[in-house]
Amino acid sequence: MIRLVAAGASDVGAHRAVNQDAAFTAPWGAAVADGVGGGPSGDLASATLLHRLVASSAAALDAPQLAERLRLANWDLRARVDHDGSLRGMATTFTGVFVGRGGELLLAHTGDSRAYLLRDGELRRETRDDSYVQALVDNGLLAPEAAETHPQRNIIMASFAGGETDEASVGIRQPLIGDRWMLCSDGLTDYVPEPEVRALLTIGTPAEAALACVALALEAGTRDNVTVVVCDVVAGSSQAGEPVFWGSAAERFTEDLGSATA
């Protein structure tokens, strides 16, 4: 049996008026969602998705059950848009890890927020950006080293927006005790090189590592919101423990996120 010891940190940054990032941590799962810029109410989109996702029981899931829970959370976005047409176009990325029914980890992802695994001192990216620039790289039209500074790197090709075809990829990872996962919005990875992130992740508690990564992004001059969640895989039961929210999900409490049709 495994559980997650997880903590997060989120900052609106020096150049944004609203934090559109949201995150949650719990012994049974953790996730980061980043409201899509350029659309309305990205903070509402990311907060709504996460609150709806964790509203069900914390029982361990299998991959189809997690996909279904994400589908239901996405319906909340559609209900809000149907109730208030001014929200049309709001959307959010999503990247999360969850303790699976068989003791595996489930990794769910859509958009350009990222998940990294630190194992035996090696940092490895576990997600592929659903972005315009990544598509250029995949098709041999752009060199990978040019992707990090491309002016259109923030155009995403997949997200949750309440649409019928919206979905996240859900994969299975076999965990090892001592693994450390990091989930983050692009406010970190667009401004801080991966080797510098790795150096911060190798020391300290999850809370210390998350805070250090956010601080480094701010020092590097990030022009976006920045949110980081760090999770350590340890032995034990994942069933006990209430979720803790960060970013817009903390600012918009459950009572502020009631049914859109109420």
Q: pLDDT tens-digit profile of 173-217?
A: 999 999 999 999 999 999 999 999 999 999 899 999 999 999 999
| Contact between residue 192 and residue 220 where contact means Cβ atoms under 8 Å apart | yes
**pLDDT band at residue 51 using 50, 70 and 90 as cut-offs:** very high
Provide the CB-side half-sphere exposure for 191 (13 A, CA): 21
**Does position 66 have pLDDT exceeding 50, yes or no?**
yes
Query: What pLDDT does residue 238 have?
Result: 79
**pLDDT band at residue 260 using 50, 70 and 90 as cut-offs:** very low
Q: Does 57 or 202 have the greater pLDDT score?
A: 202
d(CA 205, CA 195): 19
Query: What pLDDT does residue 239 have?
Result: 75
The residue among 177, 153, 152, 174 whose CA lies nearest residue 232 is 177
| Contact between residue 209 and residue 203 where contact means Cβ atoms under 8 Å apart | yes
d(CA 134, CA 15): 26
| Contact between residue 230 and residue 23 where contact means Cβ atoms under 8 Å apart | no
**Alpha helical stretches, state H, 55-191:** 63-83, 132-138, 144-147, 186-189
Query: What pLDDT does residue 154 have?
Result: 67
Mean pLDDT calculated for residue range 52-71: 87
Query: What is the CATH code of the structural domain delimited by 2-12+19-253?
Result: 3.60.40.10
CA dihedral 196, 128, 132, 194 (to 10 degrees): 0
Sheet bearing 105-110, strands edge to edge: 169-173, 105-110, 94-99, 29-34, 21-26, 244-247
Mean pLDDT calculated for residue range 33-55: 89
| Contact between residue 201 and residue 183 where contact means Cβ atoms under 8 Å apart | no
Strands 226-235 vs 122-125: parallel, antiparallel or unpaired: unpaired
Structure token digits, residue 108: 């769910």
**Does position 12 have pLDDT exceeding 80, yes or no?**
yes
d(CA 13, CA 218): 7
**Does position 261 have pLDDT exceeding 50, yes or no?**
no
For the entire predicted model, the pTM comes to 0.91
Provide the CB-side half-sphere exposure for 107 (13 A, CA): 18
Least confident of 4-8, 36-40, 221-225, 229-233: 36-40
Mean pLDDT calculated for residue range 141-148: 65
Q: Strand locations in 1-142, DSSP E?
A: 2-11, 21-26, 29-34, 94-99, 105-110, 114-119, 122-125
* Amino acid of residue 241: G
Sheet bearing 180-184, strands edge to edge: 2-11, 226-235, 180-184, 114-119, 122-125
Give domain limits for the chain.
2-12+19-253
| Contact between residue 249 and residue 18 where contact means Cβ atoms under 8 Å apart | no
**pLDDT band at residue 262 using 50, 70 and 90 as cut-offs:** very low
pLDDT in tens, 94-138: 999 999 999 999 999 999 999 999 999 999 999 998 766 666 666
**pLDDT band at residue 151 using 50, 70 and 90 as cut-offs:** low
Query: What pLDDT does residue 259 have?
Result: 47
Mean pLDDT calculated for residue range 142-161: 71
d(CA 205, CA 215): 15
Please give the share of the chain, as a percent, with pLDDT higher than 70: 84
